[in-house]
Amino acid sequence: MQYDIASIVQGYAQGYFLMADEDNVLGWYGSRDRTLIPLDERFRYPKSLRRVLNQQRFAVAINRDFQAVVEGCAQRELTWISPELKQIYWDLYQAGWAYSFETWQDDELAGGILGIAINGIFIGESMFYRIPEGSKVAMVKLVERLRERKFVMFDAQMMNPHLERFGAYRVNDEDYQELLDKALQQRCSLI
């Protein structure tokens, strides 16, 4: 796949996302319904996680080790993050579009969320953990950060049971496009 950063950002800004299939062929995908993480009072998390947060076992960082987060997200039995997509994420990172939102325990990467920020939308591409609760704490702290920075939308793309526990919800494509338009008009910065 031939690409340039501007066309990749434009694709995401139109509501598409990149994934590699089982043969590592990269393509653009869309969905009739999208999963959003709420940035309002609907966001929730288990009480057990509240205890972990209160213990302050994890420090939060942005882009401290971007490539380690990409690798962590790609290291699973079934992955849509091909070598080509890793390179695209790196190029997006260097151009200021892609971010890793990380948790650290001492000098060890505990977990992280890989995403792309375009104006008022944060598009979560993937997440992983190496230390239990690492990615969950990253999720809570990322939502706090997005709220502080006045982001309009946190797009998680596809629903799973893990996201449901945080109050994730689905919206149809029409509602998604309306929110996307509003988010793209909002000037925000993650850092």
3-class DSSP assignment, residue 28: strand
**pLDDT-derived band of residue 2, with 50, 70 and 90 as boundaries?**
low
pTM over 0.85: yes
List of residues 6+ apart from 18 with CB closer than 8 A = 8, 11, 26, 27, 28, 29, 85, 88
> Could you say which DSSP state residue 100 is in?
E
What are the pLDDT digits (tens) for 117-150?
Answer: 999 999 999 999 999 999 999 999 999 999 999 9
Topology of domain 5-185, CATH: Aminopeptidase (3.40.630)
pLDDT confidence of residue 46: 87
pLDDT on residue 43: 97
Average pLDDT score over residue span 7-12: 97
Residue 1 banded pLDDT, cuts 50, 70, 90:
low
Q: What is the domain partition of the chain in residue ranges?
A: 5-185
